[in-house]
Amino acid sequence: MIHYCKGKALHVIRVSTPCESPTYGQNCNETCECEHAAIRCDNVKGCICSEGWTGKHCQEDVDECQIPNICKDSFKICQNTNGSFLCNCVNGYMFNANGSCQDIDECITGQSGCNQICQNSDGRYACDCYFGYDLNTDRKTCIKVEETCSAHKNINCSHICVSENGKVFCSCPTGYRLSSDNKTCEDINECGDKILNRCSNNCTNTNGGYICSCPAGYQLDNDERTCIGCDAFHYGSNCTNSCSCGIGADRCDPIKGCLCKIGWNGKSCDQDIDECVSRPCTGANFTCINTMGSYVCDCVRGYRSIGGVCQDIDECIDPRLNECSQICKNNAGSYSCSCYEGFVSNGNKCHGGYQQYHI
């Protein structure tokens, strides 16, 4: 209150006297300008706001949603309103009789819009389709699988048209990939790809696949990818040839087959080489005798080898070597028989002559 004394204005604090409405505060020099949300004007604090409002003039709404867990129930969501707030159920939930939020079964309420199958779950739902149908892009309606591809005639897939979850696209069989036009399938060259090429040795690319092969002496294992050496009885490309090696074989070579010992020939090494054809026995009166797997140089008939030289056998010095009954005459390589005078020779034998009668 202002008092005027002797023309001078004095400020006097009258503690015991409350401010007169609508003034308040220190020295009562503030004035309440309360909005309609105010209850009254307090002579100390000014505007006293009703619940849900704040500010000097009670003009400001309190955002109760900023207060943690104000809605308590985890399925509730806080919605601020002017002067108050609401706790609503989150999407997919609704209030039950107890005032708490419970899942809405959209499949029963008919809210789902599912064309064929509706599957409710906590807080949500999903549409599905019967076998042979696919969910359309709206996630609700169903379309026949076969009809999807034929309905999209413009898709023109070179190999396979796929309809999945309402989307239609081209696909390729194994060994092919979709080219940049997303329609045409092109062969994958597995041989040129370190990861796809699983051949241990040679790789040949084919349409839709690839083939492994092995060098001679090896064959593909059961995995059709790894090369393994031929067993002891097979040889050649893919080990397809059998080694049925004969007596003259040293071993079965995985690449060449039967390897022959010296003196033997033929695929199975069972053919003797006739070394005598090349006339290996060069010394005088030597002759070549072929043997199985070899040959020997021996003296011709009537000669024998002495110190590596063929020398004439004197058949006449040993009665076992000649058949002469009377006279034996040695010659080079042979001998001849003759008879005493008065005997007649008949071959190597001598027959008695007239002389016997004179004795």
Q: Which is nearer to Ca ion, 184 or 205 (CB)?
A: 205
Shortest Cβ 331–Ca ion spacing (Å)? 6
Shortest Cβ 303–Ca ion spacing (Å)? 8
Q: Which is nearer to Ca ion, 100 or 201 (CB)?
A: 201
- Inter-CA distances, 4 with 10, 11, 14, 46, Å: 7, 9, 15, 27
Backbone angles phi, psi at 28, to 5 degrees: 55, 30
Q: In whole angstroms, give the CA distance from residue 106 to residue 101.
A: 15
Q: Which is nearer to Ca ion, 141 or 213 (CB)?
A: 213
Shortest Cβ 275–Ca ion spacing (Å)? 5
Q: Which is nearer to Ca ion, 241 or 268 (CB)?
A: 268
- Inter-CA distances, 76 with 66, 121, 125, 204, 249, Å: 14, 18, 19, 66, 94
Backbone angles phi, psi at 91, to 5 degrees: -55, 135
Q: In whole angstroms, give the CA distance from residue 273 to residue 202.
A: 39
Listing DSSP states for 23-38 in one string gives: EESGGG-EE----TTE
Q: In whole angstroms, give the CA distance from residue 74 to residue 116.
A: 32
196 close to 190: Cβ distance less than 8 angstroms = yes
**Residue 305: CB partners within 8 Å, gap ≥ 6?**
298, 299, 311
- Inter-CA distances, 251 with 48, 202, 247, 257, 291, Å: 116, 28, 10, 8, 22
Q: Which is nearer to Ca ion, 73 or 312 (CB)?
A: 312
225 sits in the region (left: phi over 0; alpha: psi -120 to 50; else beta) called alpha
Shortest Cβ 338–Ca ion spacing (Å)? 15
Shortest Cβ 278–Ca ion spacing (Å)? 11
Q: Which is nearer to Ca ion, 181 or 193 (CB)?
A: 193
Residues of the shown chain interacting with Ca ion in the complex, contacts defined by CB under 5 A: 187, 205, 210, 272, 290, 295, 312, 330
Q: Which is nearer to Ca ion, 134 or 272 (CB)?
A: 272
Q: Which is nearer to Ca ion, 80 or 336 (CB)?
A: 336
Q: In whole angstroms, give the CA distance from residue 213 to residue 201.
A: 7
Shortest Cβ 161–Ca ion spacing (Å)? 22
Q: Which is nearer to Ca ion, 88 or 294 (CB)?
A: 294
Beta-bridged to residue 309, according to DSSP, are 306
Q: Which helix (H) or strand (E) holds 312?
A: strand 309-312
Shortest Cβ 149–Ca ion spacing (Å)? 26
**C-alpha 160: how far from chain center:** 23
Shortest Cβ 170–Ca ion spacing (Å)? 18
Shortest Cβ 325–Ca ion spacing (Å)? 18
